[in-house]
Amino acid sequence: MQRIFSGIQPTGIPTLGNYLGAVRNWVKLQHDHDCIYCVVDLHAITVAHDPKALAQATREMAAALIASGIDPKHSILFHQSAVHAHVRLSWIFECVVRIGWLNRMTQFKDKAGKDRENVSAGLYTYPALMAADILAYHATRVPVGDDQRQHLELANDVAQKFNFDFCGGEPFFPVIEPVIMGPAARVMSLRDGTKKMSKSDPSDQSRISLTDDADTIALKIRRAKTDPEPLPGEPAGLEGRPEARNLVGIYAALTDSDHAGVLREHGGQGFGAFKGALTELLVDKLSPIAGEMRRLLADPATMDAILRDGARQAEAIAEPIVKKAEDLVGFLRV
């Protein structure tokens, strides 16, 4: 069985983008892969965060994953700071990755904005830690949203350079294949169809969160930006209409269809009617997840025990791989 690794940052309640672009696919892959899923709290501190809230946010993210269908009996679920192998391999990779490669990362440019001199060095070297997260387990498939494609290409470059520099070109670290699935691989903001939906966007109206109740979902969808034209009959008609394309993509993902299928059913409809149908679908899909999250979080001790057990299992896989990488680099063992 191929090994899967993927992670999510505890930087807020997961959004519909996280769910449709990543987590829902993680759930599907559990049945025929050896899966490792991680709440990446080390990544979460690359931007300003509240130290008093991080532990609970980590627990909440783990509960959101279980409520979405990740089964800790089938998949390893843990939080990143509990397994030290990530940081040890990350440092080695920081010394392998080239500054020129990091300079090309568009996510860094987006997150750093104009004030680049003032963001953390961790935000800049984030892709080296991400490469370590995956390669510490010799994982070969990584289900992510489309925004992470460039980071995975960089992880492959790092693996290849490590193999060349320290293993005479032998493939100690394997090639990683991104798994980017479905019509919602990039869910956009409800306020701006050219911007990704994000947990940490300052505008709450830009996203649907997994814990939003029915009224909140209805209000956010009603207020979602659209254009005055009705829905077209086929996907070519969505060209130049990013907000319409986004809502159709969300509908397609929730009904396991595609843009063409949704437009066959709803083409010619105005947004009033279409938004009503979309709201119903969203409430139907997300309400059970929110309820299950509340139930899980009422028992934090059990949540922590699940994460502790996951960390133990993760460590057992990563430790020999990272030790071998350290030996290849040449560290003294006494």
Rounded Cα gap, residues 149 and 146, in angstroms: 6
Rounded Cα gap, residues 58 and 43, in angstroms: 12
Among 77, 85, 187, 248, binds ligand AQP (CB under 6 A): 187
Residue in 214, 181, 193, 199 with CA at minimum distance from that of residue 282 = 214
17 binds ligand AQP (CB under 6 A): yes
For tokens 């693996």, the residue is 159
In order of 55, 83, 248, the CA distances from 244 in angstroms are 38, 43, 6
The structure tokens listed for 22 are: 């990543």
Stretch of residues binding ligand AQP (CB under 6 A), selected from 113-121, 143-151, 164-172, 278-286: 143-151
Print the binding letters for residues 196-235 with ligand AQP: x by CB under 6 A, - otherwise.
xxxxx-----------------------------------
Q: Count the site residues for ligand AQP by CB under 6 A.
A: 21
25 binds ligand AQP (CB under 6 A): no
249 binds ligand AQP (CB under 6 A): no
Q: Which is nearer to ligand AQP, 77 or 187 (CB)?
A: 187
Whether residue 232 contacts residue 267, with contact meaning beta carbons closer than 8 Å, is answered with: yes
**Is 18 labelled as part of a ligand binding site?**
yes
Rounded Cα gap, residues 26 and 142, in angstroms: 9
Q: Angle CA(149)–CA(150)–CA(152) in degrees, nearest 5?
A: 70
Q: Which residues are catalytic?
A: 111, 196, 199
| Least separation in angstroms between CB 151 and ligand AQP | 9
**Is 133 labelled as part of a ligand binding site?**
yes
Residue 196 burial (10 A CB sphere; 0-12, 13-18, 19+): buried
21 binds ligand AQP (CB under 6 A): yes
Whether residue 130 contacts residue 160, with contact meaning beta carbons closer than 8 Å, is answered with: no
Stretch of residues binding ligand AQP (CB under 6 A), selected from 160-168, 179-187, 281-289, 300-308: 179-187
Among 4, 5, 13, 22, binds ligand AQP (CB under 6 A): 22
183 binds ligand AQP (CB under 6 A): no
Residue 65 burial (10 A CB sphere; 0-12, 13-18, 19+): buried
**Is 161 labelled as part of a ligand binding site?**
no
145 binds ligand AQP (CB under 6 A): yes
Indicate the annotated binding residues for L-tryptophan.
133
List residues near ligand AQP by CB under 6 A: 7-9, 11, 15, 17-18, 21-22, 144-145, 147-148, 185-187, 196-200
